[in-house]
Structure 1
Amino acid sequence: MPNNKKPPVHTVPNKAGGWDNKQGGKTISHHRTKARAEDQGRQEAKKDKTEHRIHKRNGQIGQSNSYGNDPYPPKG
């Protein structure tokens, strides 16, 4: 069975200002605010049934949400 899983969506700060959503190394959207970028990134991740990773201003991942088959579901 082929693996058609899409790469995660990353919401990341843009060096020139604002925030970008990237998937598979390509910018899929640009936004003035982090909140708008998060909303759009969440929609893309849900549509593609993949992960949404929200980065902090310093580039570190601050939050990660799964909208597909989570390889590490919570226990209990």
Structure 2
Amino acid sequence: MTTQICGNCRHGTPIEHGMIQCQLGWEAHDGLLPNVRGKGKSRVVIPVHMAHGELEKPEATPTCRCGCSPDKWLPVKA
């Protein structure tokens, strides 16, 4: 099983200061709310619009675990 780490994803592009930018955009990251049972996260059916400040696309450290839609993460080709 491959661990879903941003630095190992085809959609993660290295940017300045050692960060990764997700090319899937905010649409793939928005809409996550805490599960009602308090375990993990669940994607909601209706869109949840979150504030992103000046960031065009999501940014993370290379070792960050994927916060995107689980079915969109793809490992970097060897």
TM-score interval (norm. to shorter): 0.3 to 0.5
Identify which of structures 1 and 2 has the higher relative contact order when contacts are C-alpha pairs closer than 8 Å and 6+ apart.
2
Structure richer in strand, relative to its length:
1
TM-score normalised per structure 1 = 0.34
Structure richer in helix, relative to its length:
1
